[in-house]
Amino acid sequence: FYGTTLSGTPEQQPRWKRGVSTVSGAMGEAIGQQYVAQYFPPEAKATADQLVKNVIAAMGDRLRNLAWMAPETKVKALAKLAAFTPKIGYPDKWRDYSALTIKPGDLVGNVARANAFDYDRDLKKLGQPIDRAEWFMTPMTINAYANPTMNEVVFPAAILQPPFFDPKADPAINYGGIGAVIGHEISHHFDDQGRKYDASGKLTDWWTPQDVARFKVFTDALVKQYDAYEPLPGLHVQGGLTLGENIADLAGLTVAYDAYHRSLGGKPAPVIDGTTGDQRFYYGWAGVWRSKFREPALRQTLLSDPHSPGHQRVLTVRNLDPWYAAFGVKPGEASYLAP
């Protein structure tokens, strides 16, 4: 029902894909270690690490200059950023599976033993200090997450590939792609949800009531903007439902743009194939969200997903002055957004 009726998927995944999914779920870091060895060389991690450092530095600059945030709140925000942990590619220490017995030809038994292994591992955590080095996503997962209770963002190796990231690509493309996605995740630690957790991940609201009121004025306008998008006849993006992710897209693009220019070290960006660095930056963002939906899946997304569809996520650029300058967008054009 979920696959065919709600998502419009015509058939089940091939058996080999389901097998890969099962093994990945049972021994994620063992598979991840092999994935990293083959697809994520040290130079790729080094490039990604430097990009992340620039994005974090740009986030600090933006926090210092936020007009709506009170001075005392900025102090707490910057303390939280200073304690922030980015996890890039793969864990510093791989999980030890030597106690897990795998028997060829015994699928059901292998799955049962893997589940018991994970359960026993979780039990051993009781009463112990929190392992802040632990990952809750495998290296071969094409995704990322922000964890407010650990004050961290996690970017597995698998998302650090085209179209998000390519260590051999023009930096503008990488900053517009994975840089903006990294900025997106970091920004969640400083938005209306991230404000509920302090630098150590404890449940503490560190905004003032005035911060909340000023933030709401800004977000109300963003809700109306996204409410107006109509991807399917009669079915609009829900500006309220998607607000948190739309804010993060806007913040992510903003700090990634700053980080890109920081990476240039004061030098002008080269013109490549007739395109400027700023233009290529926004091409990187657009490339990340190219997507094709079956109508049932798009309908389900619009009704229940806190993320806007890809096309509308690209349109975040309409809120950014550098985008207008990069492409010479003028009032009256379809993509122009009146102030």
Q: What is the pLDDT of residues 249-270, one digit of tens each?
A: 999 999 999 999 999 999 999 9
Residue type, 96: D
User: Roughly what angle, to the nearest 10 degrees, separates helices 107-123 and 15-26?
Assistant: 30
Helix (H, G, I), strand (E, B), or coil: what is residue 151?
coil
Q: In what order do the strands lie in the sheet with 145-147?
A: 85-89, 152-156, 145-147
pLDDT of residue 44: 97
249 catalytically annotated: yes
Closest alpha carbon to 297 in 288, 310, 287, 286 = 310
CB 175 within 8 A of CB 257: yes
pLDDT of residue 6: 72
Measured CA to CA, the distance from residue 13 to residue 334 in angstroms comes to 40
Measured CA to CA, the distance from residue 52 to residue 146 in angstroms comes to 14
Provide the token pair at 114. Answer: 């893997």
Strand pairing category for 152-156 and 85-89: parallel
First to last CA, the chain: 44
pLDDT of residue 1: 60
pLDDT of residue 8: 73
pLDDT of residue 319: 97
Closest alpha carbon to 189 in 308, 90, 63 = 63
Provide the token pair at 264. Answer: 């240039």
Spot the catalytic one: 29, 152, 185, 245: 185
- Interacting residues of 77 by C-beta distance below 8 A, sequence separation 6+: 63, 69, 190, 206
CB 324 within 8 A of CB 335: no
Spot the catalytic one: 198, 211, 249, 258: 249
185 catalytically annotated: yes
pLDDT of residue 9: 77
Locate the domains of the chain by residue range: 41-93+137-327
pLDDT of residue 339: 85
Q: Determine the topology of domain 41-93+137-327 in CATH.
A: Collagenase (Catalytic Domain) (3.40.390)
Percentage of residues in the chain having pLDDT higher than 70: 98
Residues forming beta bridges with residue 147, ordered by sequence position: 152
Helix (H, G, I), strand (E, B), or coil: what is residue 117?
helix
Measured CA to CA, the distance from residue 100 to residue 112 in angstroms comes to 11
- pLDDT averaged per 10 residues in sequence order, the chain, 339 residues: 70 91 95 97 97 98 97 98 97 96 96 97 96 96 95 97 96 98 97 96 97 95 97 98 98 99 97 98 97 94 97 98 98 92
